[in-house]
Structure 1
Amino acid sequence: MTQTDRDDLARRVRVAARALGRHGLAHAYGHCSARIDAERFLVCPPQPMGLVAPGEACTVVPVSGPLPDGVLGEVRIHQEIYRNRPAVGGVARFMSPKMMALAALGRSPKARHGFGAYFAPEPPLWDDPQLVRDDAKARGVFAAMGDARAVLMRGNGAVTAGDTLEEAIVLAWYLEDACRIELEALAAGLADAPPTFSAEGANERATKAGRIFERMWDFLTAGDPEL
């Protein structure tokens, strides 16, 4: 990767971080990253994502080994995902309100609408509310996640993984909306009732065609100072 490419990747990471903050998907806590190559990825600055400044330096993190000084401890989760899923190009760790409420109940959203179909039949849950600040817990989160697009952590947010950074950010928005639907179903007393997507229906609906991800990325990043 050339320096120009690295600079562009850092810009995309900053844009992604601010998008999560701007749309209420993250507050003081959370982080996002993009893969550089098989051995390294780039993570956003260790501060509230909505406050990341244009041009602010991101940090190169090894896929294996100790975290560099200043990198937030839960970035270990990113390491586990990049190391074990070579097709993943971007990861987001966030604490959006509806998802936090549902995960705190030890529940995960079922595939009830179009955005939920991307996580069918439902995203896995890591049933531990503690911070993930050691390698053993990071391995546990990844073991729960497996090949899924997202994993919820009981009382401690969620992680999404996409083929690209942009995809991971869009999936964060989709997951929050799926959790909104689930909470409304619970409030209505209908959470255990159909309909939900069949496996075949979810696979058909969870499409990337028609610039599905690109259009949501455009919406989430509109007005960003580095675009």
Structure 2
Amino acid sequence: MTVDVQEAVAQAARVLARSGLVTAFGHVSARTADGFVITPAADLARAAPDRLIIVARDAAALPNGAPAEAWAHLAVYRERPDVAAIARAQPPAAFAAAAPGKTLFPLYGQASWLGASVPVHDDARLLRTLALAERAAGVLTEGEALLLRGNGGITTGDSPGLAVARMWLLEQACRAWIALTPAERRGLSPAEIASWRAVSAELLPRLWRHLAEVG
């Protein structure tokens, strides 16, 4: 694990806190060669590289100081080899959007950067065991965002910053979703979604830089 990875996780966590997407809870992690590194069970606003917790890929128990829902990160990393980083938060609008337990689809272009759709894990229990975490991870078979009914959301990225940028987008997408009635929700076509996803590698980092600079 490099210092750059540690600093990236800590910075992303601080930005997540400044963005108002977490209170006393939430965590950010990044995959490493042997597992992942994650913020401790503490206020993300004070995240620092030297306070991060290392979790082994084959962990049978969580190390001291790790958040209890680190199991969710472990399960997602095992389920999705393409995922390099994870943000876990409680965007306020996510609670209302996920309450029906139904999949969300993009209503506007930037929401496509969360996936062609955003599934909902229809179980509000905390992901504090590997078994519960694996059930949630099994819902996130593709795309970059998962809503947890009654429990916030999970977003992924090629870096901790991009995972946090997607968490910000998830909050915005949920706000748009709950502002409209089902009859008013006109989703994007597959071609429209594909066109927006094609430019995500170019434009999503710009959103992350904005969030990092204005926070």
Relative distance call for 1:193 and 1:136 in structure 2 (3 A) is same
Counterpart of 1:161 in 2: which secondary structure?
strand
The one of 52, 59, 62 equivalent to 2:56 is 62
- Give the TM-score, by structure 2 length: 0.91
- Aligned positions, number: 214
Relative distance call for 1:210 and 1:64 in structure 2 (3 A) is closer
8 Å CA contact retained: 2:102, 2:119: no
Hey, what's the Cα distance between the residues in 1 that align with 2:111 and 2:151? Answer: 20
Relative distance call for 1:33 and 1:120 in structure 2 (3 A) is closer
By how many angstroms is 1:210 displaced?
Answer: 7.2
Q: In the alignment, which residue of structure 1 is the partner of 2:187?
A: 196
Q: In the alignment, which residue of structure 1 is the partner of 2:151?
A: 156
Percent of aligned pairs sharing the same letter? 30
Q: Quick check: which has more Rg, 1 or 2?
A: 1
Relative distance call for 1:46 and 1:114 in structure 2 (3 A) is same
Q: In the alignment, which residue of structure 1 is the partner of 2:68?
A: 73
Relative distance call for 1:209 and 1:128 in structure 2 (3 A) is closer
Aligned structure 1 segments of 4 or more residues deviating by more than 4 angstroms:
none
By how many angstroms is 1:169 displaced?
Answer: 1.1
The one of 154, 166, 174 equivalent to 1:171 is 166
By how many angstroms is 1:56 displaced?
Answer: 4.1
By how many angstroms is 1:207 displaced?
Answer: 3.2
Q: In the alignment, which residue of structure 1 is the partner of 2:133?
A: 138
Hey, what's the Cα distance between the residues in 2 that align with 1:194 and 1:154? Answer: 20
The one of 16, 19, 31 equivalent to 1:35 is 31
Paired residues for 1:182-193 under 5 Å: 182-185=177-180, 189=181, 191-193=182-184
Q: In the alignment, which residue of structure 2 is the partner of 1:222?
A: 213
The one of 7, 13, 16 equivalent to 1:17 is 13
- Give the TM-score, by structure 1 length: 0.87
The one of 88, 101, 107 equivalent to 1:106 is 101
Unaligned runs of 5+ in 1: none
RMSD of aligned residue pairs (Cα, Å): 1.9
Could you report, residue by residue, the CA deviation over 1:30-87 in whole angstroms, capped at 9, with x for unpaired residues? 10101122x22110122121232x4542111112222112211111111111122222
Paired residues for 1:201-212 under 5 Å: 201-208=192-199, 211-212=202-203
Relative distance call for 1:21 and 1:108 in structure 2 (3 A) is farther
Hey, what's the Cα distance between the residues in 2 that align with 1:209 and 1:153? Answer: 24
Hey, what's the Cα distance between the residues in 2 that align with 1:161 and 1:45? Answer: 18
Hey, what's the Cα distance between the residues in 1 that align with 2:102 and 2:82? Answer: 28
Alignment-mate amino acid for residue 132 of structure 1:
L
By how many angstroms is 1:176 displaced?
Answer: 0.9
8 Å CA contact retained: 1:35, 1:41: yes
